[in-house]
Amino acid sequence: MEKFFSVAREAAESAGSLIRENWQEAKEIYYKSAIDLVTTVDRQAEERIAHLLQKHFPDHSILAEEEATIVNSHSDYRWIIDPLDGTTNFAHAYPHFSVSIALERAGEIILGLVYDPLREESFQAGKGTGAFLNGNPIKTSKVGELDKALLATGFPYDRREHADFYLAFFKDFMIRCQGIRRNGSAALDLCYLACGRVDGFWEFKLHPWDTAAGSLIVREAGGTLTDFSGNPFSIWGEETLASNGLIHPEMLEVIRQINV
The tens-digit pLDDT sequence of the chain (260 residues) is 899 999 999 999 999 999 999 999 887 877 766 656 788 999 999 999 999 999 999 999 999 987 767 788 788 999 999 999 999 999 999 999 999 999 999 999 999 999 999 999 999 999 999 999 999 999 999 999 999 999 999 997 776 777 888 899 999 999 999 999 999 999 999 999 999 999 999 999 999 999 999 999 999 999 999 999 999 999 999 999 999 999 999 999 999 998 55
**Of the residues 137, 159, 175, which one is the last residue of a structural domain?**
137
Same domain membership, residue 178 and residue 130: no
Q: Quick one: 99 and 225 in the same domain?
A: no
Query: Do 223 and 244 belong to one domain?
Result: yes
Comparing CA positions, the residue from 248, 238, 244, 229 lying closest to residue 210 is: 238
Where residue 97 sits, what CATH number does that domain have? 3.30.540.10
The answer on 104 and 27 residing in a single domain is yes
Could you tell me the pTM of the whole model? Answer: 0.94
- Boundary (domain end) residue, out of 103, 137, 171: 137
- Write the DSSP string, 209-242: HHHHHHHHHHHHTT-EEE-TTSPBP-TTSSEEEE
Same domain (yes/no): 120, 27? yes
Taking the C-alpha atoms of residue 217 and residue 125, their distance in angstroms, rounded to an integer, is: 5
Q: How many domains does the chain have?
A: 2
Domain range enclosing 223: 146-257
Which pLDDT value is given to residue 36? 65
240 and 213 in one domain? Answer: yes
Using CA atoms, how far apart are residues 58 and 72, in angstroms rounded to an integer? 9
Domain end among 137, 161, 189 = 137
Residues 16 and 97 reside in one and the same domain: yes
Is the same domain home to 168 and 207?
yes
